[in-house]
Chain A
Amino acid sequence: MTERVIVIGSGPIRIGQGIEFDYCSVHCVWALREAGFEAIIINNNPETVSTDFDTSDRLYFEPLTMEDVLHIVERERPLGVIVQFGGQTAINLALPLYEAGVRILGSSPDSISLAEDRERFDQVLLELGIPKPPGRTVTSARGAEEVASEIGYPVLVRPSWVLGGRAMEIVYSRDELRSYMTYAVDVSPVAPILIDKYVLGREVEVDVIADGEICVLPGIMEHIERAGVHSGDSMAVFPPQNLSPSVIDQIVRTSTDLAKRMDVRGLMNIQYVVADDVAQVLEVNPRASRTVPYLSKITGIPMIKLATYAILGKSLRDQGYEGGLQPTPPLIAVKSPVFSFTKLKGVDIGLGPEMKSTGETMGIETDYSRALYKAMVASGLDVQTGGALLATIADHDKSESAAIIRAFADLGFTIYATEGTARFLNARGITATPVGKISEPSPNLLDLIRNGQVDVLINTLSTDKQTEREGVQIRRASVEIGIPCLTSLDTARALSMAIASRASGHPFDVRAVSDYLP
């Protein structure tokens, strides 16, 4: 007699929950069938492979609400329901289903809520001695100010009920915090706000598979943009390029400890920020994440299959894996986000803690800058090996920007910059032609962009309101004219490296993914 398992899909594609969860759901179904179970899928997205009637043993084309799912559970009487592969949509059903008497396979609803309940999670970190940026939950505007002045600005603020970074902001001063509390959110005891110290560092993320005994880390991904840019909007590289062995060791140890303590069965995603050679935990997601398909392919480790078998009770050791970080294949893979800004009028394209990208591409190579080039070209960025660069750099970014802009100048780019930036660059021996701000008479920088005289725009986000208002216009102009606009210096540095790899004249090769793997 075949036992049945229900897999909850991820619903419609939206920003923050894309095609990757269809990949995860489908692979879970395939693994279940391979393991001799009857796999049943529930989903309502007609674009997907999971709703292909060939994929599962039974497909229910139904809304992913508690009522609709429960009807199917009652009819099918499955061994249990798997919720960790359908993104936040599925994981949100864990607790209500459990409360209705349905067995959740994989990490338990309690383990899921441990990851999602801020207070309980902080307690776990404390208990295990795992560092995290200081911060607290507040229920009033005054409480927010107190906590912020205690931990020190800048702080990262967000409503506790929000997922995927909505309404999340980095706040640099008390005035900004006041305005955020007044305009951006309604704070109250039932709608608390999270305030955390914003740690300027490198963001790193891992997806781990655990079975209650051991914890397998297929790989570590390093974000190219510094902390503060949403992980879905960051470029990322595998294997990490800038982490010390000590940090890697901390990450492996912390991830393993967390998986064990939280009794993870299946997948979990953990995000870290690394500063001063210390890896601090930012957040955990008790489910398969966006990066699982990408990591599965470049490591050759069938992550969803391992996780599904682990959920069904087959240990990872029995599946041929030992705990810890797995051997790194001889390749470098860069993931690049893709935006749909041309389609959305009035949307500011500046990157921040709120996710804005709709998709992603990957570039695989054996050399980092060439992988960057492939990923950027694949993402639709018009990567020119020469031309003109326009730089408008916020004051707090100026000193760091010099080396990056110099790299563009060395590649033969003509540099245009706003008055202040130009003066700053010239003083450092970088020839930059000053152009007027938007508020100044024509021809100003907006005209320069619209006339097609700019090939790359670097516009870092300012905390000054007037400058920022102009920044929005400049960035939109770049979208309309179709030139790359980089709002993070890290992306700009990556682009200069990519251009240099192209300009070297060394031709690019292609290889099937399997040819990279040992």
Chain B
Amino acid sequence: MPKNPDIKRVLVIGSGPIIIGQAAEFDYAGTQACQSLREEGVQVVLMNSNPATIMTDLDMADRVYIEPLTVEFAERVIARERPDGLLPTLGGQTGLNLATQLAEQGILERYGVRLLGTTLPSIRMAEDREEFRALMRRIGEPVPDSWIVESEEALRDIANAGIWPLIVRPAYTLGGTGGGIACDQDQLMEIGCGGLSASMRHQVMIERCLLGWKEIEYEVMRDANDTCITVCNMENFDPMGVHTGDSIVVAPSQTLSDKEYQLLRSASLNIIRSLQIEGGCNVQLALDPHSFAYNVIEVNPRVSRSSALASKATGYPIARVAAKIAVGLRLDEIPNAVTGKTLACFEPALDYCVVKIPRWPFDKFVHADRTITTQMKATGEVMAIDRSFEAALMKAVRGLEIGVFGLAGKRTNELSDVRIEAGIATPTDERLFIIAEAFRRGMMVEEVYAFSKIDPWFLRKVQRLVTMETRLRIEAGAIANLVDSPTESDPTAALIREAKALGFSDRQIAANTGIAEKEVRKLRKALGIVPVYKIVDTCAAEFEAKTPYYYSCYETEDESWVSPSEAELAATSAAKGESDER
């Protein structure tokens, strides 16, 4: 079906100021939506209170309103601009809540504004815990035991049932504000009461906590024609109990068997169909590592932080496609901008590994509680792409700008063994470094697993990185000799190549060998150990990609594109560059 001709003017609501739980991802989504709608000849009226965004740029939309995101001001914008439609699913929870209020108070109806994309009943079904659970039961998707609580007395009744641990999630909040895990009555009362006041509806859900289960997310899309695809799936390094925004995340999933992958994929598609979402949707699932049992945790019927990550991880522009679906297009009518050959109904394929690590503000707030739970604390995140999990992890770590360039944390080597054990068991911003330190002290994967419940596959990778540190230290002398007379055939050269392929920075090689970073670099270049660049093309090189989006890796084949005229330039300036190198 082509674009709906009745929709000429659309109001897009942004997500407001950057707060923990709502960062730049909604500027990315909103900017894409504006571009995508204008491409279809739709006029865009944009409303956001955040002046630092690109979406509020004067030429990004036809009309830009920098006004408070409240019903009062939104109504005035609507009265002035008279849009035909409102796109509610691109402004995070803030935008969605505002759109819901505008609809519920009859303002949209009064001004003849249609809610585009996913319908209000669908949004409500996905957001209201009870309705969502009822739907899941109807379609046979398992959900954890839970209770809806609206008073302190009800909290006490649950405490009396004696099921621990319990997870507390307030309804209608951002980034899990007011949530947490309670292991006894006191904790339940504290977290529960906090959650009640944080909730827009004075409502919290108490749920059996699936601590230790794997946490998996699927980004799925659906159009009005009921065509559904999975854009990608993502696996949390940290098992259940850590907010996904505070978790190290890897895409695609690394520890699932094909059966498990398909089981959860089918469930996600089943869910997006039953909710009749028109656009993008994020499904969070928990998987028992010891059986094929899984539970549906929650669904976000909108563009989210995870969808931004999935877009960058795959090259599939979720917000852009969602905006087109909202004005009536179907997945099989929307071209894939990366390949220019495939359509948006094509599921992306990845021939690399993506790792995201959250960026926490504890360098600023030194007195803050560094424990990571179900309430998000990170302000931002970094992503890294490489051919292996190890290398992507190392790239992400050094991209955090926390003064750490590998798995050696700032002061983790000073911790006592007891503190190390506690640090593995309790998630904090430093857990990854503490785990690495545990391996450095000879702890076994099984022990670390017993404390952390982090999948042994991930732990073995971390252990492998620590082993490489040790090998570099042992071979420090040989490497120093190599600096004096670089020989490509020397077995030590192979070790350096291996370290680079594992994502070790020169700085880290330097730290482990006592050789200056500059020397490591010089040696590497003398040995011809330099990165090549690969393309993120959404299709694992099945088609030729048009959009150049690159990542480095230490392999042999370079997919990077250089036009012929520039190859000439490269040759001339290469000569100059070498002399500049000194």
Interface residues of chain A, those whose CB is within 8 Å of chain B, are 1-2, 4, 11-16, 18-20, 22-23, 26-27, 44-49, 51-54, 57-65, 67-68, 71-72, 74-75, 77, 89, 100-102, 164, 166, 290, 293-294, 297-298, 300, 333, 335, 338-340, 342-348, 354-356, 358-364, 374, 377-380, 480-482, 508-514
A13 touches B17 (CB 8 A): no
B68 touches A360 (CB 8 A): no
B368 touches A378 (CB 8 A): no
Question: What would be 8 A-B contacts, judged by CB atoms less than 8 Å apart?
Answer: A23-B52, A60-B533, A63-B396, A340-B21, A343-B376, A359-B50, A364-B67, A379-B49
Kindly name the residue among B405, B552, B581 whose own CB sees the greatest number of chain A CB atoms within 10 A. Answer: B552
Task: Tell which of A58, A75, A293, A338 touches B19, judged by Cβ atoms closer than 8 Å.
Answer: A338
CB distance from A310 to the nearest CB of B (A): 20
Task: Tell which of A1, A293, A512 touches B565, judged by Cβ atoms closer than 8 Å.
Answer: A1
B50 touches A44 (CB 8 A): no
Q: Which residue of B lies closest to A300 (CB)?
A: B58
B68 touches A374 (CB 8 A): yes
Kindly specify which of B102-110, B461-469, B483-491, B567-575 makes contact with the partner chain. B567-575
Chain A proximity mask over B382-399: 1 for CB below 8 Å, otherwise 0:
111100000000011011
B117 at the binding interface (Cβ < 8 Å): no
B18 touches A14 (CB 8 A): no
A63 touches B65 (CB 8 A): no
Instruction: List residues of chain B with CB within 8 A of the CB of A68.
Output: 395, 398, 505, 552
Report the bound CA distance from A469 to B362 in whole Å. Answer: 21
A46 touches B53 (CB 8 A): no
B472 at the binding interface (Cβ < 8 Å): no
Report the bound CA distance from A300 to B574 in whole Å. Answer: 42
Given A71-B530, A361-B49, A513-B64, the answer on whether A64 and B399 have CB atoms closer than 8 Å is yes
Task: Tell which of A53, A293, A509 touches B547, judged by Cβ atoms closer than 8 Å.
Answer: A53
10 shortest interchain CB distances as A-B pairs: A101-B580, A13-B380, A359-B18, A359-B17, A63-B399, A378-B68, A378-B49, A12-B359, A338-B17, A12-B380
Kindly specify which of B1-9, B24-32, B131-139 makes contact with the partner chain. B24-32
Given A46-B308, A63-B399, the answer on whether A348 and B367 have CB atoms closer than 8 Å is yes
Instruction: List residues of chain B with CB within 8 A of the CB of A72.
Output: 552
A347 touches B367 (CB 8 A): yes
Instruction: List residues of chain B with CB within 8 A of the CB of A53.
Output: 315, 337-338, 536, 547-549
B58 touches A297 (CB 8 A): yes
Q: Which residue of A lies closest to B560 (CB)?
A: A75
Given A45-B382, A166-B364, the answer on whether A22 and B24 have CB atoms closer than 8 Å is yes
Report the bound CA distance from A11 to B368 in whole Å. Answer: 23
Known: A18-B18, A344-B20, A362-B66. 14 other contacts (CB 8 A): A13-B18, A14-B380, A60-B533, A60-B552, A62-B399, A65-B405, A294-B51, A297-B64, A346-B368, A347-B365, A356-B364, A362-B51, A378-B49, A514-B63
Kindly specify which of B70-78, B119-127, B289-297 makes contact with the partner chain. B70-78
CB distance from B164 to the nearest CB of A (A): 21
Interface of A is mostly: loop
Report the bound CA distance from A511 to B80 in whole Å. Answer: 9
Task: Tell which of A49, A347, A356, A513 touches B28, judged by Cβ atoms closer than 8 Å.
Answer: A49
B54 at the binding interface (Cβ < 8 Å): yes
CB distance from B18 to the nearest CB of A (A): 3
A345 touches B369 (CB 8 A): yes
B58 touches A362 (CB 8 A): no
Task: Tell which of A71, A297, A355, A514 touches B552, judged by Cβ atoms closer than 8 Å.
Answer: A71
CB distance from B547 to the nearest CB of A (A): 5
Report the bound CA distance from A386 to B198 in whole Å. Answer: 22
A12 touches B401 (CB 8 A): yes
Instruction: List residues of chain A with CB within 8 A of the CB of B32.
Output: 52
CB distance from A516 to the nearest CB of B (A): 10
Q: How many residues of B contact A (CB 8 A)?
A: 105
A514 touches B58 (CB 8 A): yes
A63 touches B395 (CB 8 A): yes
A48 touches B24 (CB 8 A): yes
Report the bound CA distance from A54 to B54 in whole Å. Answer: 14
Task: Tell which of A18, A508, A512 touches B64, judged by Cβ atoms closer than 8 Å.
Answer: A512
Report the bound CA distance from A344 to B177 in whole Å. Answer: 10
Report the bound CA distance from A59 to B551 in whole Å. Answer: 9
B359 touches A14 (CB 8 A): yes
Report the bound CA distance from A57 to B550 in whole Å. Answer: 11
Kindly name the residue among A12, A339, A480 whose own CB sees the greatest number of chain B CB atoms within 10 A. Answer: A12
A14 touches B49 (CB 8 A): no
Chain A proximity mask over B347-387: 1 for CB below 8 Å, otherwise 0:
00000000010010101110111000001110111111100
CB distance from A157 to the nearest CB of B (A): 17
Q: Which residue of A lies closest to B364 (CB)?
A: A15
B28 touches A48 (CB 8 A): yes
Report the bound CA distance from A181 to B259 in whole Å. Answer: 60
B82 at the binding interface (Cβ < 8 Å): no
B194 touches A480 (CB 8 A): yes
Task: Tell which of B17, B77, B375, B536 touches A343, judged by Cβ atoms closer than 8 Å.
Answer: B375
Q: Which residue of A lies closest to B74 (CB)?
A: A510
B383 touches A338 (CB 8 A): no
B436 at the binding interface (Cβ < 8 Å): no
Q: Which residue of A lies closest to B47 (CB)?
A: A510
Report the bound CA distance from A75 to B550 in whole Å. Answer: 12
Given A22-B54, A75-B560, the answer on whether A54 and B521 have CB atoms closer than 8 Å is no
A360 touches B17 (CB 8 A): yes
B165 at the binding interface (Cβ < 8 Å): no
Instruction: List residues of chain B with CB within 8 A of the CB of A62.
Output: 384, 395, 399, 551-552
A360 touches B52 (CB 8 A): yes
Given A45-B380, A61-B536, A77-B574, the answer on whether A23 and B552 have CB atoms closer than 8 Å is no
Given A49-B27, A65-B399, the answer on whether A11 and B52 have CB atoms closer than 8 Å is no
Instruction: List residues of chain A with CB within 8 A of the CB of B52.
Output: 18-20, 23, 290, 293-294, 359-360
